Amino acid sequence: AKEMNGYDLSTGKLLTSPGALKDDGTTSCGNWLWCGMYTEDGNMMARRDATDYSLIGLFPNWGKAWPLNRRIMYNRASVNLAGEPWDQARPVISLDGTFIGDVPDGSTKSINDGGGYPFVMKPEGRGYLFGPGRPDGPFPEHYEPWESPVSNPMSPQQNNPAIKSWETGERGTPDAGYEIVATTSRLVEHLHTGAITRRLPWLVELQPSMFVEMSPQLAEKMAISSGDEVVVESTRGTVRGIAVITTRLQPVQVDGTAVHYIVLPWNWGYKGLSTGDSANLLTPRIGDPNTGIPEFRSFLCKVRKA
């Protein structure tokens, strides 16, 4: 932890913040994001002082926040040009010669006194209403997923026209019987695909098999009981899992229609102490226009008892 935090090589002392790092060989640091986490005062992340003078939940001496123990990023947007809090009753920072309260993000002076604007990661120091350079910009807009049981209520454009698609088959539609919305999830007990964690007996004991969560209403409609093996089918594939009926899931009303949905973890595969189908066998091959991140979190499917 100390090596990750970094040292001043001329004094042998641990560094206190990323601002102390130099490019002349006089400092060392394993990861600048960790710099200031383990100082001469000890492990800052282990601090447990629950005192909160701010009265808004900052708890500045409990653990350590990145960066610089700042609890609310862009907090200088909470004050006006003179450095006075917009919310006088609950100030995040306020000016008393210099800013007090949370660690100020950016300049320690007010804008009227020559300090910079609060959005320090932008060249103008101001917040953006839209992000330049986006293929689907300049303003964000709502689009329905590639497969959706309803039409886009915001505009005639159903799907994002700039998406990256590697789909080669038919799209699932309610008219074709794909009426149930599916989403994928993670588990605390298994890491990603479970390739590592499904080899550990104690974690397999906690989460032994692939399952499919559904509402009591959907289970009744499909004549499915808890513990039944069920088949989930999309236009791209089929997976099997154990039905878990839970009141945490409830049908939602969309456009005057009750829409049912299920939740499938994607932590299974074909090797390990526990094997099973991956939920990602069902998901569409659609990429976000900016990053290419797949649209794994929403698609249409059929569900039946195996």
- Domain-located, residue 36: no
Beta bridge partners of 245: 214
Residue-wise pLDDT tens digits, 155-201: 999 999 999 999 888 999 999 999 999 999 999 999 999 999 999 99
* Prediction pTM value: 0.71
Evaluate whether residue 172 is within a structural domain.
yes
In a domain, residue 263? The reply is yes
Q: What residues make up the domain containing 284?
A: 166-305
Residue 220 confidence (pLDDT): 97
| CATH number, position 265 | 2.40.40.20
Specify the number of domains making up the chain.
1
Residue 290 lies in a domain: yes
| Confidence label for 128 from pLDDT (cuts 50, 70 and 90) | confident
Task: Please check whether residue 225 lies inside any domain of the structure.
Answer: yes
Classify residue 144: in a domain, yes or no: no
Higher pLDDT, 262 or 130: 262
Burial 259-291 (b: 16+ CB within 10 A, else e): bbbbbbbbbbbeebebebbbbbebbbebeebee
Strongest mean pLDDT among 34-43, 95-104, 249-258: 34-43
Q: Give 140 or 301, the one with higher predicted confidence.
A: 301
Is the residue at 114 inside a domain? no
- Selection from 166, 172, 208 nearest residue 187 by Cα: 208
Whether 53 is covered by a domain: the verdict is no
